[in-house]
Structure 1
Amino acid sequence: MPDTNLSNSAIINAYMAATPGSAALHSKALGAFPSGITHDSRWLKPYPLSCERGKGAIKWDVDGNRYVDLFGGHGSHLLGHCPDAVVEATIEQMRKGSQFGASHALEIEWANLIQEMVPAAERVRFTSSGTEATHMAVRLARAHTGRRKIARFHRHFHGWHDAMAFGVDGHFDGTPTPGVTEAVADGVVLLPPNDIDAVRALFERDNDIAAVIIEPIGANTGNVPIPGSFLKALRAVTQEYGVLLIMDEVVTGFRLAPGGAQEARGVTPDLCTLAKIVAGGMPGGAVAGRKELLDELDFDVSAAKGREKIKHPGTYNANPVSAAAGIVTLKAIRDTDACARANAAAEAVRRNLRKVLAEENVPWGIYGEFSFFFIYMNGAKLDIDPMTFDGFSVPSSTFVPDTRKTLTQKLHLGMITNGVDPMGFRGGILSAEHGEAEVAAITDAFRNTLKALKVEGEI
């Protein structure tokens, strides 16, 4: 049953009163799934929201409640929910077939679009997810360099396979999480964010580093932000020491700009990983990069060089339905101002929410870049002016997950009961379909939620 061990909170009770259908579904889900959920980010007390449909910037839950969506399909929906052309393309392909066990024309067209739009993409290999893409990228890096280790940054998320399963929200000392062997953990070096001296020092003392992998605008897509200057410095130092740079563009790819962070930041990696938008919101991912690196997967090249190729099967690699959705989506991003519209909507939200904080006298900050915004809840109790807060100016160590669980729960639920489904308590992701009305609704929901939190003594 849903957790009903609640205080006298009007915010929580309002959520429960508005979402009995979600409560009922969660009760059933508890008999099927651990914690009653199918993705860790959906864990929410007293129970998670269950949705039924979406269109554009809006989605509806199973009780018929309407929400401005800020989760964006985990970043997949730059064009909003159910773009007509994408829906029609997937339906048309489903009528033709969803799995042939053979090559098909759509996979070539899909890859050619990626090659056209993404600076690093001399060659492409499709996967079924972003996690599979980062898994393949680190394997390519190790095979090509003959080196054993991968360097990562604290809190940067690269999927859930063994080499990426620690150092995200804990285990920053490099110890493995449950189910991961020490041998795997020994092949990963964790580094503090935004510290180019630490990167250089690692390369000086250890010549066994095959690659560095990074989220190009910061951990969790900018939740712990990094400036473009750091990315440029990282590219320079990796080239100096012969270490490969893997840019994880699973979320940023085709979102910041048509060419992703590579275009927006002016930095070209050796390898990049893609998912979410690349498949038009359908399941699918890809590794793209220099030909000589992707040649580790090539039968003929490997045979000619007398080496064992990397094996890479995968039932749903370049699935034709995902390909159809991806092609239409990428063409729309290439040929329209979709990225610019999403970025402008997020900038309007950031501007408005700063004003709300200042007017409500709440010493928090709003930050983020491109189509993202984040809420700095100031657990460190810094002296903050919401109107001038700069996420790059505060120590990275202060961007730790907030320990005030009741506050973060109520902030999340309060936004939902005010008609906005955020990306948890952290902030949100905007799409090209978020217009003035949606920005105004987000602003009002934030203000009303802050007022309710004040009444309950949380802020």
Structure 2
Amino acid sequence: MDSIISRYVELHPSSRQLHQRALRLFPNGVTHDLRHASPFPLYARRAAGSRKWDVDGNEIVDFVMGHGALLMGHEHPEIVAAIEAQALLGTHYGASHEAEVRWGEWVQKLVPSAERLRFTSSGTEATMMALRLARAYTGREKVLRLREHFHGWNDSVYGQPLAEETVPSARGLPRGMLEASIVIPQNDVEVLDRTLRDDGATIAAMILETTGAHWGTEPIDLEYVRSARDLTARHGILLIFDEVITGFRVSPGGAQQAYGITPDMTTMAKILAGGLPGGCVAGRAAIIDQIAIRDDGGAERITHPGTFNANPLSATAGAMCLSLIADGTHQQRASSTAAVLARGMNRVFSEESVPGCVYGHASMLHIALAMDVQPADGYGWGWAPLPKPLPGVSREAAAALRLGMVNEGVDLMGDGMMVSSAHTADDVGLTIEAFRRTLRAMKEAGVAG
């Protein structure tokens, strides 16, 4: 491990210097948990297509892709041109504008559940509004969610059950919020059915990530999602799909279009805004229209201000992005590239005699060190859940993988990869060989499993 760290430090002196300045400003010197790295994170200067360049001039194949916001890669020329043109017209009118209408029309056209919608500034905000709408619509207070599913950092769906409240993620959460949340394991229809029979009268909504916990790290069973749709409808509970990551990526209409399952509400962000900040809650008109101002004084309405809701720059970028990906070509290209990449990396695991595998869904990949079970087709698990329990990976091994890949010119999103339509066959080949060299370095350091 020392050799991997030493090489990382040697390759990135300017990142190290910037981090020293950042430590005086931000907790851990970073502005997002996923950007934290020891001994210091990578600092980028520019990006284009599938690549980015750090402050030391190192060229890197990028699989972070704006934390999943960039389906078509960095600096797409048509999106850049649209943003530049809008910036010359104004960045914030404090008024309604045509771009927000065009943006909303594209969402409504593509997403099956989007009878009505409201824009926010992030996925977390979209989830906050969805849960408030659900509580108001049903007159119930509790939220049912699945263990390890992530829905932003808002209090209603963060932390663990009270029995596990000592874990760090529960710190700072009011006890009442934890009590208003029911958490069950995914893929167990029997537990879901029992929970809804016992507590359904108190549950306003069930919310889930559509490909499984942590954007599919633990894949969800499609039959479980179908059961969730049927059972929630039977009990008068609203079903919310968190498509912040999967929206417009799994298909032009998100996972719900690909699955043929329509939720009551959907939360979206990332690709939605074309690489700029932006979120959205969409769903049945009767639910979303609770936000509408009424002639009767609005005692029963839900207020929703927001300085940057559908701001002109995000709306322009979002509308352009959705128009470009509407035919599904970019999704298909990214998913095909991801499958080739996963199979190549799995061959490396085998050839280097290192336990582990790469698996995924659509254009989202996950690297599992120490797991000796392989996906049947060398890429996806289909709808079969992963083996349980999942193998534990040491923090040292995870850090070695991430730093080692950066040393070889590839940036991962934690232990995952967001593949874009801008990634090429050359990128795939470079990444596979970078992975091979990284595993060898990890074996030499004694952290490969």
> Structures share a fold, TM > 0.5?
yes
Find the aligned partners of 2:244 and 2:292 in 1 and give their Cα distance. 24
Compared CA separation, residues 128 and 396, structure 1 to 2 (3 A): farther
Find the aligned partners of 1:105 and 1:200 in 2 and give their Cα distance. 45
2:209 to 203, 210, 215: 215
Q: CA deviation at 1:56?
A: 0.8
- Is 1:331–2:323 an aligned residue pair? yes
Q: Deviations over 1:356-392 (max 9, x none)?
A: 11111112122111001111213xxx65357777753
The answer to whether the 8 A contact 1:172-1:190 is kept is no
Q: CA deviation at 1:194?
A: 1.3
Higher alpha-carbon deviation: 230-239 or 44-53:
230-239
Compared CA separation, residues 143 and 399, structure 1 to 2 (3 A): farther
Which residue in 1 is equivalent to 2:273? 279
2:339 to 326, 340, 347: 347
The answer to whether the 8 A contact 1:364-1:386 is kept is no
- Is 1:417–2:407 an aligned residue pair? yes
1:52 to 45, 56, 60: 45
Q: SS at the partner of 1:299? A: coil
Compared CA separation, residues 294 and 413, structure 1 to 2 (3 A): same
- Structure-to-structure mapping, 1:187-226, within 5 angstroms: 187-206=180-199, 207-226=201-220
Q: CA deviation at 1:40?
A: 0.7
Compared CA separation, residues 181 and 203, structure 1 to 2 (3 A): same
Which residue in 1 is equivalent to 2:157? 164
The answer to whether the 8 A contact 1:71-1:422 is kept is yes
Q: Deviations over 1:219-269 (max 9, x none)?
A: 111011112222112111111211110000011100111001011111110
The answer to whether the 8 A contact 1:358-1:386 is kept is no
2:164 to 151, 173, 187: 173
Q: SS at the partner of 2:225? A: helix
Q: CA deviation at 1:174?
A: 5.7
Unaligned runs of 5+ residues in structure 1 are 1-6
Q: SS at the partner of 2:39? A: coil
- Structure-to-structure mapping, 1:295-306, within 5 angstroms: 295-300=289-294, 303=296
Find the aligned partners of 1:267 and 1:396 in 2 and give their Cα distance. 27
- Is 1:454–2:448 an aligned residue pair? no
Q: CA deviation at 1:396?
A: 4.8
Which residue in 2 is equivalent to 1:430? 419
The answer to whether the 8 A contact 2:219-2:385 is kept is no
Compared CA separation, residues 253 and 383, structure 1 to 2 (3 A): closer
Find the aligned partners of 1:60 and 1:212 in 2 and give their Cα distance. 42
State the TM-score, normalizing by the size of structure 2.
0.95
The answer to whether the 8 A contact 1:98-1:319 is kept is yes
Letter in 2 for 1:409: A
- Is 1:38–2:28 an aligned residue pair? no
The answer to whether the 8 A contact 1:279-1:326 is kept is yes
The answer to whether the 8 A contact 1:76-1:276 is kept is yes
Q: SS at the partner of 2:361? A: coil
Letter in 1 for 2:16: A
Letter in 1 for 2:9: M
The answer to whether the 8 A contact 1:173-1:190 is kept is no
- Percent sequence identity over matched residues? 43
Find the aligned partners of 1:370 and 1:174 in 2 and give their Cα distance. 34
Q: Deviations over 1:131-187 (max 9, x none)?
A: 0000000000000000010011111110011112213xx977367722210011111
Q: CA deviation at 1:395?
A: 3.5
Q: SS at the partner of 1:398? A: coil
Q: SS at the partner of 1:194? A: coil
Q: SS at the partner of 2:324? A: helix
State the TM-score, normalizing by the size of structure 1.
0.93
The answer to whether the 8 A contact 2:359-2:375 is kept is no
The answer to whether the 8 A contact 1:298-1:309 is kept is yes
Q: SS at the partner of 1:432? A: coil
The answer to whether the 8 A contact 1:193-1:396 is kept is no
Find the aligned partners of 2:279 and 2:359 in 1 and give their Cα distance. 28
Which residue in 2 is equivalent to 1:4? none
The answer to whether the 8 A contact 1:99-1:319 is kept is yes
The answer to whether the 8 A contact 1:353-1:443 is kept is yes
Find the aligned partners of 1:367 and 1:132 in 2 and give their Cα distance. 30
Find the aligned partners of 1:273 and 1:88 in 2 and give their Cα distance. 28
Q: CA deviation at 1:343?
A: 0.5
Compared CA separation, residues 174 and 396, structure 1 to 2 (3 A): farther
Find the aligned partners of 2:398 and 2:102 in 1 and give their Cα distance. 44
The answer to whether the 8 A contact 1:349-1:373 is kept is no
Which residue in 1 is equivalent to 2:14? 21
Find the aligned partners of 1:235 and 1:48 in 2 and give their Cα distance. 42
- Is 1:70–2:51 an aligned residue pair? no
Compared CA separation, residues 365 and 260, structure 1 to 2 (3 A): same
Compared CA separation, residues 347 and 388, structure 1 to 2 (3 A): closer
The answer to whether the 8 A contact 1:152-1:191 is kept is yes
- Is 1:85–2:92 an aligned residue pair? no
Which residue in 1 is equivalent to 2:386? 394
Compared CA separation, residues 183 and 336, structure 1 to 2 (3 A): closer
Which residue in 2 is equivalent to 1:373? 365
Q: CA deviation at 1:20?
A: 0.5
Q: CA deviation at 1:335?
A: 3.5
Unaligned runs of 5+ residues in structure 2 are none
Poorly superposed stretches of 4+, deviation over 6 Å:
386-390
